[in-house]
Structure 1
């Protein structure tokens, strides 16, 4: 009799006993992260909670298109990716649902939370220079990369890449649109070659003398610094690195982040997973997986390369503000010919 009453109540709420069970036992994760240590991250969550993770991995655009096509019937509970501009793109699609969580509010700093998604690790965009051709005092700021003294010495990946767009967004928020567009034009005038390749390619080009200076995310340099390969050691020996803008607004940082989807069939499991990512153990897995830093300030990681690079003053502008300026940054780069 009691079972019948419960079943009737569930039907009245538009639910089923099977759905309620699934909400407690499964999580459907759409991930654009591809790091081996994430396996331990996910298996530890299942071990702690008993919730099985069904994971689909693909590139960001592919996953977002899949979510769009699936619509209200999407099985996705959580979307996880890297870069604030990509998270903002997902947010603009209206796929995220707000999550109210005391755990997340207490552990993740306010400037690393957006309205509908959370940051879980940070990476910095630093300046790498050739020790033989460029002096470190020449490249202490992002703005200095537009200095005529560096003409023919700057290498970078495409201006349409999210990492550079996010940097442009940060500069717009700090310096304004007009100043950032002038900087972008000056940067283009200093190119050693047309933008191509990824950040590791820029670092290697600097070491080879093809460029004198480049912009790169910190984890790319950390990978090379932690490598045991002789060719990587040779690259590291020829370059130096600078944390830019230490006397002004600080070095630009970006994030890995995640949010719960509004059509998530397993919302309870989704919230548990997002809270788990802010736990001490998960923060270490999450950050170490890509040579990054935890967002929870009390959590420390031991990474030889990051330790050697040392502490730095990071930009603390709200990550949501940075993300929302990304589209304007792309327009500025387009007008400046930074493609």
Structure 2
């Protein structure tokens, strides 16, 4: 039985794949003429002016500026080099340091399937990409849910930046299975045939409670395409060269928003997300203060994994060890009076004051949840979760 996907036509993936170099210029031209995009930029940069009679002429100026700044963008690489300067500026303005470890364990010219914990919609893959880029590595293709692509310009921007679409909105079992099978085939095709690495979150949605767990359903999706071809599970997983990645943020720009959502779910049983809430989260995640940020790359999974649960457990174990704990994590555990027999590191008065000042910005009704978000990574490291 043929256990290869090598003969798959690239056109098979047209509805979900990133844009190719030859498509970039047309997409960029379309974006520079998109009135909705220009108005969104205006609202983000100058919210007050966007509500006045000056909105229309100012949006035109935004379009003109975009056209000038993107005039030399003719390939995906051009775009990522252009974005690099903004990433560097964002890191300088919103963090107190960005560190990377583990890349020396990975071959430069190898393609991997990076599975990371998920805390921020846009910044998680952005920080992984930046870490790879500044260390002379090729950037990854990014898995992104179609729930985030409600606007055409958002879809265009994401696909220009090497994102491919996870069709979460598929209706009915048959349509969902077809979508996941296509996704599985694309991941194998990207890594094995096109030699392009992939970034994907360890589960659908962010770990808003600070508890990082891999959903075995993600692993099952990886195997889906080759299962139909009769390829053994352990061989299919080994071929993907899965590398766990841990992203650690000293402070989460959306910590209060996440606390509010979790408390509402606890009290009312559900949380109704606003129409453009994800777009707000992306913008606030980019612009908000993060403290120190650390990206730790693990080692490719090896061994005879019997099933998806075993793979998920192996990913979780690496992420647990790789996760960098900051004073905010330890001080939150202390504030909850849950230190127990663990010896808490000592911190100076300035560090404690910064933590307490941050905590003071959180409404009283959400403080317990806020503290849990920061304390949970310590509990996870200690094996208490």
TM-score of the two chains, using structure 1 as the length reference? 0.28
Relative to its length, the structure with more helix (as a share) is: 2
TM-score of the two chains, using structure 2 as the length reference? 0.26
Relative to its length, the structure with more strand (as a share) is: 1
- The higher relative CO (CA closer than 8 Å, separation ≥ 6) is in 1
